[in-house]
Structures are given as C-alpha cells and as structure tokens.
Amino acid sequence: MTLDDLRSLDWRDPGRWPLPVRLGAIGIWFALAFLILGYIFVWQQQQPDLEGYQQEEVKLRAEFRDKHSKAVNLELYKQQLSDIERSFGAMLRQLPGRTEVPNLLVDISQTGLAAGLQQQLFQPMPQQNKDFYAELPIKIRLTGSYHQFGDFVSGIAALPRIVTLHDVDIKQLGKGANDQLQLDVTAKTYRYLDEEELQAVEAERRKNEPRKRGAN
C-alpha cells in the first residue's frame, strides 16, 4: 500500500479500509489504551513509592559521603584525638590530689602575705564535686594597696596549680588618700577525684536521676 492509498482512505468509514490498515489502527488504539491505563493504574499508584526511594537514595548518598570523608580523614582524627588527650593530661596534672590540697592552701595564703597584704579572713568552704574533679572555694579578705593587690593576683597566676578568683569586691576603708583598701574575693582551686570519690559521685548522680524524671 502506497502513501497515496493511505491519503485516499475515508477516515469517517474505517469499515471500508483494507484489512492491514484496520489491523494497524486497532494495534495503535490498543497501544494507546495500554499506555493510558498503565499510567493511571501503575505509574500514579507507584509514584509515591518512587519519590520515597529517591529521597532514600539522597539520604544514603549523603551518609556515604559523610562516612567516606571520615574514613579518608581517619588518621587526622586519630592525631587530633591524641593531641586532645595530651592537652587534657597536661591540664589534669595541674590539679592537685587530695593529699596536696593543704600545701596548696598554704601557698595561696603565703601569696597574699608575700605581696605585703594583711590577711583578715581565710575560710575554706565545703568542696563541690563535679564530674571528675572537685571545686574548693576559699573566702579571702585582705587589706592593702592597689599595687599590693596586683602583686597578689600575679602571684596567684604564677602558682603551679590552677587557682581562679571570683566575686572580687574592693572597697576603701577610710576617706583619706593613704587609707587602706579591703579586698574580698573567693579563690577557687580544683583537685581531681580519686577512684573511690568518682564512684560516689556516679552513685549520687544515679540516685538523683529518678527524682529529676519525677519532677518533670
């Protein structure tokens, strides 16, 4: 059948078409119907699943990139961890043990006297246990000059152990230019907890957890 024969077909009367043309037309209609029904009953129903799989693929690709990056930089992370451990160990060595605390308290007291200050109060307060260390606050009252206070602060900073100063309050004791000043300050030093104390802190934490959950 030639192209001219197809052009001469009466599209309003397909019953008179040659058999091959009719069979071809029927095949095309079946193909179109199959595509339309497939889109309606298969594609549209599976579209949410496809979108879910696409989102899962994006998530898995991101996880892969993250894990790949960590794997590539594993040696760097190990080096950083080693540096942190060394730094932490150096800081930990600056914390005195239980037996060293009395000597440290003497050093703090002597620092004020060495600066020429008069010590009016030196009162160690109850220690406050933290995760792996304890805070040891000391209320101190000293009298002297601004210059002597500066020497005291410099001397505290030069101690081999960590000592921090808090709640600093300076006031003049008189109205004259040469009158003494009074310094009230809370010095805090720190010590690491031994194994027995760490166990006690952990036991206290576990004991308080049910109370916190009950309060919430």
- pLDDT (tens digit per residue) in 157-180: 998 888 889 999 999 887 765 668
Single pTM value for the model = 0.51
With cut-offs at 50, 70 and 90, classify the pLDDT of residue 113.
very high
pLDDT at 203: 73
Domains of the chain: 98-199 (3.30.70.60)
pLDDT digits (tens, 9 = 90+) for 139-155: 999 999 889 999 999 99
211, pLDDT greater than 80: no
* Alpha helices for 39-194 (secondary structure H): 44-72, 74-93, 101-114, 146-157
- Give the range with max mean pLDDT: 4-8, 37-41, 78-82, 131-135: 131-135
CA-to-CA separations, 2 to 8, 14, 57, in angstroms, rounded? 10, 17, 52
- What amino acid is encoded at 118 in this protein? Q
Q: What value, to the nearest 5°, has the Cα angle with vertex 29 and ends 26 and 33?
A: 140
With cut-offs at 50, 70 and 90, classify the pLDDT of residue 202.
confident
Kind plus residue range of the DSSP H or E element containing 196 = helix 195-215
pLDDT digits (tens, 9 = 90+) for 10-44: 556 665 656 666 666 667 777 777 777 766 666 66
Distance CA 165, CA 187 (A): 5
